[in-house]
Amino acid sequence: MVELAVTDLALRYGESEILKGVSVTLPAGKVVALLGPSVSGKTTLLRAVAGLETPYRGSIRIGDNVMFDAARKIELPAEARGLGLVFQSYALWPHRTVFENVAYGLKLRRVSAPDIKSRVERTLGQIGLAHLSDRYPHQLSGGQQQRVALARALIYEPAVILLDEPLSNLDAKLREEARAWLRALIVSLKLSALLVTHDQIEAMAIADHITLLNGGLIEQQGTPIDLYREPATLFAAEFMGNNNRLEGTLVENPDNKAVIEVMGDRLQGIARTSAPAGSKGTGIIRLEKVVLGGGPGPNRILMTLKTQMYIGERWELLFTKGELSVRAYTSALLKHERYHVEFPPQALWIF
């Protein structure tokens, strides 16, 4: 069953087109992440779903109810959509206690005072903040505020919960813990959630499906594994993971097996372009896929080791050859000056 369906949504601010026709579906009980760089329109899409922005084309459905339909001139105000939205800044009301913040949605829905009390207490208990219910937001840590914001959005059981960069205001250490906690909470409550993030790791970790946005259009949709292992476009390949970019010229381009010439060396890879031989091409390979060969061989380039950086569990290497530079990982410090760097054909995408 589809909980949320966004169809061909287009939106502009003045002259600039922010969304250019985006369709997303959110199956019940799943998490869909809207992933993209800062001007991709992902937050705007989320806000349009919430009813805080008005698109000029397209429709938004939640369950069987139309929330927005440009053609039929239907637009429900934000308060009538029954969604839960967790803001990036949390947007806790500073003049209300934790209890009052969380209780507000129930109060608006005319739930009786004793019921409000018991439900808020139960929810605060579930997120481990029962002892803080009389505090004011400024007396809480960032992580606690984030949980209160979540509780406030969940308390009235919205059909869909919207999360706008929910972890970005936490510091790095806390963020990783909160990520696991959030995923566990969503799964155990069987929530249907739409999550906006610019962090590909966060998207892959929390979401069941990822919609990758770029410049107001969908670049690719799929499971985290699809997106990471089978990027369809150059943008998708570069956005996910840490990559090397090899600019060159296409030499051959038959089905699924392209060859690119990079500074005199020929590399074979998976064809992701239909451009004819002779045109410019770009090879993309994840850092962790680059290997070091013992000697000359196919798909190898002889490169100079410029620098080695210790980054904890491994070393990050920088190789150069003329203007070309390539990064890779090893588990041990290297001793030689030059290496035959190998780009395995099954891990090299050629666009």
Partner 1 sequence: MTVESPAGAVPTLRVAIPFTFYRFVVIAVTAAVVLAPLSLVFYQSFLDAPFFQPAARLSLYAYRFVFADEDFWVAFGTTLLLASGMTLIAVPLGAGLAFLMVRTDVPGRNWLEPIILIPIFVSAVVLAFGYVVALGPVGILTTSMRELIGVAPWNLYSFPFLVAIAGLTHVPHVYLYAAAALRGLGSDVEEAARTAGAKPWRVALDVSLPMVLPAILFAAVLVFFLGFELFGLPLVLGDPQGVLVLSTYLFKLTNKLGVPSYQLMAVVVVAIVAITAPLVFVQRLLLREAQRYVSVRGKGVRLAALRLGAWRWAAFAAIALWFVFSVVLPLAGITLRSFVETWGEGIALSEVLTLDHYRELLDYPNVVRSMINTLGIGVIGGAAAVVFYTAIALAVHRWPSQWTRIIDYLVMLPRAMPGLVAGLALLWVFLFFKPITPLRQTLVSVWLAYTVVWLAYGMRLVSGTLLQVAPELEEAGRTTGASETRVKFDVTLPLIRAGMLASWLLIFLIFVREYSTGIYLLGPGTEVIGSLVISLWGTGAIDLVSALSVVNVGMIGIGLLIAIRLGVRLHG
Span from 154-162, 205-213, 274-282, 285-293 in contact with partner 1 (CB under 8 A): 154-162
* CA separation for the pair 35, 43 (Å, rounded): 9
Is 95 near partner 1 (CB under 8 A)?
A: yes
Is 306 near partner 1 (CB under 8 A)?
A: no
As measured in angstroms, the least distance from the Cβ of 62 to partner 1 is 13
Site track 167-186 with partner 1 (rule: CB under 8 A), x = hit:
------------------x-
DSSP 8-state assignment for residue 287: G
Among 72, 110, 138, 335, binds partner 1 (CB under 8 A): 110
Instruction: Give Dmax over CA atoms of the chain in angstroms.
Output: 77
Span from 67-75, 90-98, 199-207, 325-333 in contact with partner 1 (CB under 8 A): 90-98
* CA separation for the pair 263, 124 (Å, rounded): 61
User: How many CB atoms within 10 Å of residue 143?
Assistant: 17
Site track 45-84 with partner 1 (rule: CB under 8 A), x = hit:
-----xxx------------------------xxxxxxxx
Asked whether the CA dihedral 27, 164, 110, 51 is positive or negative, the reply is negative
Q: Which of residues 207-266 bind partner 1 (CB under 8 A)?
A: none
Contact 119, 151 (CB under 8 A): no
Among 108, 180, 263, 334, binds partner 1 (CB under 8 A): 108
Is 136 near partner 1 (CB under 8 A)?
A: no
Among 58, 105, 216, 248, binds partner 1 (CB under 8 A): 105
- Report the C-alpha dihedral over residues 307, 311, 316, 318, rounded to 10 degrees: -30
Residue number with CB closer to partner 1 (85 or 259): 85
Residue number with CB closer to partner 1 (108 or 334): 108
Span from 119-127, 202-210, 240-248, 276-284 in contact with partner 1 (CB under 8 A): 119-127
Contact 62, 174 (CB under 8 A): no
* CA separation for the pair 233, 236 (Å, rounded): 5
* CA separation for the pair 230, 307 (Å, rounded): 31
Is 147 near partner 1 (CB under 8 A)?
A: no
Helices (H), the chain: 42-50, 98-108, 113-126, 142-154, 172-189, 200-206, 224-229, 234-239
Using DSSP bridges, classify how beta strands 315-321 and 300-310 pair: parallel, antiparallel or unpaired.
Answer: antiparallel
As measured in angstroms, the least distance from the Cβ of 218 to partner 1 is 24
As measured in angstroms, the least distance from the Cβ of 159 to partner 1 is 10
* The token pair that represents 261 in the structure block: 């010439």
Is 118 near partner 1 (CB under 8 A)?
A: yes
* The token pair that represents 323 in the structure block: 């203007």
Residue number with CB closer to partner 1 (128 or 278): 128
Residues in contact with partner 1 by CB under 8 A are 50-52, 77-85, 87-89, 91-95, 104-105, 108-111, 115, 118-119, 122-123, 126, 152-157, 162, 185, 188-189
